Amino acid sequence: MASTSDIRKGLCIRYNNDIYKIIEFLHVKPGKGPAFVRTKLKSVSTGKVLDNTFSAGHKIEDVRVETRSYQFLYEEGETYHFMNTEDYNQITLAESALDAPGLLKEGEVVKIMFNTEDAMPLSVEMPASVVLEVTYAEPGVKGNTATNATKPAKVETGAEVNVPLFINEGDKIKIDTSSGSYMERVKE
């Protein structure tokens, strides 16, 4: 058993007969009254996100997890196939287990968290950013740059990302996987 002082981003806990991963937390100590921890929890089975507040010192049941590196092989409908980079065993996961499936390129290495009790995969941690090639982008209109103007662009995985007007087809761009937003253009 852990307490609220052990809460950190990425911790998996058992709550309401399900396993949740903590995506955000904030320890609050108001001037009046007891301290508490505000959390944003994501269910590893359904992908549903909920907000919850734990009072300070509240006991929480943490789940022991093990992280292994897997390479993304291919997508087949709503199932994604991964291969362990150490022993070459393959597993398949549902699309709901991934945070940003549209940004996953074949050959990308991800970290998959497993519950150590029953060896069930819990969640997939993507790299912080990915570099993808723009396959389609409307040409930028000159003179539309009074503010940070953006346009939609399609990348090689099929995902759509808002990019600045100067991005063209064939450019490689770096995308933040947590928000799915454009970060920068990558020079080769």
Summarised one tens digit per residue, pLDDT across range 104-160 is 888 999 988 888 888 888 778 888 888 999 999 888 666 656 667 788 899 998 889
pLDDT band at 95 (very low <50, low <70, confident <90, very high): confident
Summarised one tens digit per residue, pLDDT across range 16-63 is 888 888 888 999 888 888 899 999 998 877 778 899 999 888 888 888
Q: Classify domain 65-125 at the CATH topology level.
A: OB fold (Dihydrolipoamide Acetyltransferase, E2P) (2.40.50)
Q: Where are the domains of the chain?
A: 2-62, 65-125, 129-186
36 vs 54: CA distance, rounded Å: 6
Closest CA to 112 of 87, 89, 84, 78: 84
pLDDT band at 73 (very low <50, low <70, confident <90, very high): very high
Please state which CATH class domain 129-186 belongs to: mainly beta
Q: Rounded mean pLDDT of the chain?
A: 86
Q: Is 129-186 in the same CATH topology as 65-125?
A: yes
For 54, half-sphere exposure in the C-beta direction (CA atoms, 13 angstrom radius) is 23
For residue 146, the model assigns a pLDDT of 60
- Whether the per-residue pLDDT at 102 is higher than 90: the answer is no
pTM of the predicted model, to two decimals? 0.72
Answer whether 165's CB lies under 8 Å from 141's CB: yes
What is the architecture of the domain spanning 2-62? Roll (2.30)
For residue 83, the model assigns a pLDDT of 94
